[in-house]
């Protein structure tokens, strides 16, 4: 591994996924387990920035956080930035009960990298798809109900999720930038 980065989160599943993805780019992740404040706002960028700065204040080292949201078209983007709260409150069964015929959705990921209190970089990605009619698979979060465009299976059912997901695409942008940054600084 050429480089190591801290990944701040209380979600070990998210960390394991990010670690598997970034290892393919020669970046190793260390888990910085911490509970970060989830501010209430309609902006994933604001949430990610707040979490990244807070994580940096806890560890005083370069750190990344990942925040994401499931934006369902027929629900006018809901749950969006409130996805974690909605999942904890009504879960996948609740989301399925809210939907009628129109099931288009976008999964969005934002990686925020912070190396000083004032320096935060963002890397984001979207994957369009739809919400399945029933829970399919057993993985965590909304993976059992999200079917990415061009696929017939949910994220939970896909063997290659970590090379097509919104999180993968955002982490790929981060990895390319981070490795160029390290190379240009001679590290």
Contacts of residue 157, defined as CB under 8 A and 6 or more positions apart, other chains included, come to: 136, 137
Helices and strands in the chain: count of H runs, count of E runs: 5, 7
Which sequence positions are flagged as catalytic? 67
Residue 114 has phi, psi (to 5 degrees) of -130, 125
DSSP3 helix / strand / coil % (the chain, rounded to 5): 40, 30, 35
Q: What is the DSSP letter of 163?
A: G
């Amino acid at each position: 591994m050429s480089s190591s980065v801290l990944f701040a989160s209380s979600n070990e599943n998210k960390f394991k996924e990010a670690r598997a993805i970034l290892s393919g780019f020669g970046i190793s992740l260390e888990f910085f387990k911490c509970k970060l404040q989830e501010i209430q706002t309609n902006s994933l960028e604001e949430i990610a920035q707040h979490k990244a700065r807070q994580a940096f204040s806890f560890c005083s080292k370069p750190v990344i956080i990942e925040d994401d949201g499931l934006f369902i078209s027929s629900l006018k983007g809901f749950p969006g930035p409130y996805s974690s709260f909605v999942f904890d409150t009504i879960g996948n069964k609740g989301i399925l009960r809210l939907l009628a015929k129109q099931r288009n959705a976008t999964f969005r990921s934002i990686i925020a990298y912070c190396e000083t209190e004032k320096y935060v970089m963002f890397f984001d990605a979207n994957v369009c798809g739809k919400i399945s009619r029933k829970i399919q698979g057993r993985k965590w979060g909304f993976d059992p109900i999200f079917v990415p465009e061009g696929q017939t299976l949910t994220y939970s059912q896909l063997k290659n999720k970590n090379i097509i997901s919104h999180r993968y695409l955002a982490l790929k942008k981060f990895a390319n930038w981070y490795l160029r940054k390290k190379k240009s600084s001679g590290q």
